[in-house]
Structure 1
Amino acid sequence: MASKVKKSKSKRGTTRLREGIKKKVAAHNRKQRKLSKKDPTWKSRHPRDPGIPSSFPFKDKILEDIEERRRIDTELKAQRREERRQALVNAGETNAEAIEAQLDQEEKHDNSTRLAALLESARAAADEFDSDEDDDDDEDEMDTEDVEGVIDIEIEDNDSKDSSRKAFDKIFKAVVDRSDVILYVLDSRDPEGTRSRQVEQAVLAKPDKRLLFVLNKIDLVPSNVLKQWHSALKQSFPTLPLAADKAASNAVTFVHKGLTQQSTASALLQALKAYAAKSNLKRSITVGVVGYPNVGKSSVINALLSRHGGSRRACPVGAQAGVTTTIRQVKIDNKLSVLDSPGIVFPAVETAKKGTAPVDEQSRLVLLNALPPKQIDDPVPAVSLLLKRISKNAELRDRLMAVYKLTPLNDSSFNSLVTDFLVQIARKKGRLGKGGIPDLKGAAHAVIVDWRDGRIPGWTLPDADALEPKIPENKSDLVISASGPKEEKVIVTEWAQEFSLDGLWDGNFGGDDNEDVEMN
């Protein structure tokens, strides 16, 4: 008898069964979440700083050191603010609210300076990388209302000195041709080193051009040095002192009574406006700003713009050379516009005749802050040149020893002195290699950065014959003749009258009561 085949049972479940399973799963998940919250080993999804483990030895001492450093930083910040407040009071500022507002602005500027410099450096690197693909990159454009336009003349990033020389010459000629007045910005610490006779001859060759010396960074030199350089330079061209921007937070600064950042920038702006009014031109005058790299050309333009009521920085600035790479035209008002230009490094005629070695020339440019860090092959020769200059002045030598708190150096020979100096700097700044061997190049680079920022005080003095008055009874005898075919003579005193500079700042550089304010 054949067996009866059973019908296969369907695997299809009922809706009630499926919904019941879903509810049980949801209830199980809720229970697991509650238990996980009660679990002491529960970890957040977001990474957290574990801090110092409780079992770590000397944890209490480490926490105390951290708290002590925090307290010291707070006290130093308050001390610097009080010193700056006292300096403003000594400089003639009497409005308490204005002082507090300026102090708040300076603190905000200190916090943003390093980030701004890093941002500008990153932008420059990005522009350099994308220059072959797109010459009109959006990051090159300044989104401010004060920028009227940018002239598309860029410096080629080429290792060849000849091509770089041609690019700089092309930009310099373009600035001179487009400008009515040339502001030649000099570093107050070494005006003669940042001065080139080729610039002066190029301007004097055109009778319709005017040249003004601008002594920038006056807060990095004492009053007696500033007086001597002002007296020497104004024998050649009208000269104005200027503190275009605030020095670095750790710089050693000098307060000159009557020469504040606001007063000097206002005097320069009024001088340019006076020339614009006396020139009787039916158009706005154009002022070209030239000078060595990192002397503060862009800061001069920003200072002029701020005194005219501008709230933004039209020109990017940075502590290292090479931030400005194009000619940028900035409109101050309907009567005045300014051209910002990249730094120009002219070959030194005097050193070329003597056959100076390339290493010595590079060291000279490094101390002038005219080379970006990537072009400094070896900073040790530059430090050697710096020590050679400082050793000639007992005051500067004592200041250098006090800045780094050094022990007496081995002066058996100059090379031994340089080596001992770099070894002590490397140990104090932690620039050590494997086995605790001092990194001399790293220490030399740190010294160069401190020199650039003004932490190491240093300056040069003019020659004695340059300080002798050269104004005879007949003022028409005081002339400067342009080299070349032109035989016209330019009377410097007449230029000073055109800019209304007669008697300006004479004998008004502070006195024995000027204060040295050290910001560490």
Structure 2
Amino acid sequence: MVRVKKRASKRMTLKQRAKIHKKVQEHGRKQRREARRNPQRKSKKEDPGIPNLFPYKEELLNEMEERRRLAAEQRMLAKEKRHEEEEEEDDDEVAPEPAPATPLARPPAPTLLQPFKDVVAPGSEIKAVVYVLDARDPSSFRRTWLEKQLRSKKSPSLALALAKADLVPSEVLTGWVYDLRRAGFSVFPTSVRPEAEPAGVDALAAHLPSVSKGAIAVLGLENVGKSALAAALQDALEDVQVYDSPSLVRSAAPISMGDEEEDEELSRSETQTKLLWMLMRNQGQVQRFKDPVALVRTLLPRVAHPVDLMMAYGTPAFGSFVPERATLADDMPDDEALRELERQTEAKAMADTEQFLVGVARSVGRLKRMGMPDTVGAARLLLRDWAHGGLGYYAMPQSKAKAVQANGSSQDKKLWADIERMIQAMDAVQPRKEWRQAWASKELRLKALEKAPYDEDVLVFAPTPDDLEEEDEDDEEDDDLDDEEDDEEDLDEEDDDLDDEEEDEDDEEDDEEDLDEEDDLDEEPIPVPRPSKKRSKAPMMERAPKIAKPTKEAPRPSKASRPAPVPPKRRAPAPGEAYDINAYF
């Protein structure tokens, strides 16, 4: 009878079971570590959603829902369009191609290649100059030096164009045109958009041939809209040559006064002017400036009504009290009193800026750890709105409609009425009520500057890319010349090295001859010279004992008969003197 083998037991010792359990845990740990390091790993954490404390949660949810609805509509339209194309392919019917839409971009005007001093000089080929100002802040773009240059009879006639007039309410635009025309200038508001027909350009084009017969140059500072206006004028004026020009920049540099206090004050004023100039240009990513709080501190003193900022960002009232001049000491000199007033004004600006940015940070949720407000982030938020159309800002003119109607003469009233009719004819300009609705009540009214930054400085044209390329070529030629000179110097150094090598070879030959002579002298007996009793100042490792040179009368002794050199005696260091450690080795 066959004996059935007994089934082996699966029982194991606790040591084996713990070992297997440990290996399983180690394998799982390795798998999780590799999964974390995998760049294509997907997190299993769910989206927590929008917090209930977020102030604009409903608006954000509505916006997300609107995006979903628009995406669904686009998918439906794409699906219907795809079905229509399939039906057209089945019917073998080819649909006619739509006619290409006319481009709204206008051909640019040719660039003026003359130096700026030749353009404004008497007897110039340019007979009329259109100087472009930003309608939002004309006081910052005016240049007294340019106006004085064009006041002479033989100089080109000057006309001012208020560009970007569609960004300003009609009441404000009327006040600025009225003030500038009363000052004796020919002013025309314009609005040139790439997606719409230009407004106000026809009135300017009708005025220019009446005052001059010749070429016209459009001048302006950076980012003011002169190139678009030059292209629109070129379309409106067919028989007159219109030139665009590079941006105007200042040619004067700050001069040192020689006094430290005056130089420090000049540097502080120059820094403040640069910040104001950066805000006025309003170009590029202004919010990425390394010190955004300084830009906001420069902007806040220009705000005419702080309630505009309170309503735009939902902040509480801010502002600090500054004593007037009467509170200063009576015996204080005028210079010190002015400096004290400037110091108090600067302290007020810093306190106002800090208080306002703290309110903005708390309103929009810009908080750091422990609930500390992020003032730098709030400053960047304000500058982003300033630079990218989040705030509708404009400078307030001096004249207003009520004041002109109440206290103005009949001529002033007639001028105001004519300007109002001209601006009403421009469809792009809206009244203040409609303008506020378009900007969602984000209005910021500024004070007009009494003096523009760099107002008295001489102006020149900015270098064009072609000029910069020529300068680079000149620099490369200079570098090539410098390289050639360096190569010549290297060749001279190589020649010197060769000469040095030849001299070293000659020296080696001389040394070999001297050694041969010494070997010959070693064979002859010579008297032993007496050692010198003079103490050597150098240590033994650095200075070898001197051996008298052999002469013909006294031959040199042999190596065996030479006496051993006597080491110099060590001198004890004086008090405060450092030990010479080389003397002990």
Shorter-chain TM-score bucket reads 0.3 to 0.5
Higher relative contact order, structure no. (Cα contacts within 8 Å, ≥ 6 residues apart): 1
TM-score (norm 2): 0.43
Identify, as 1 or 2, the structure richer in strand. 1
TM-score, reference length from structure 1: 0.48
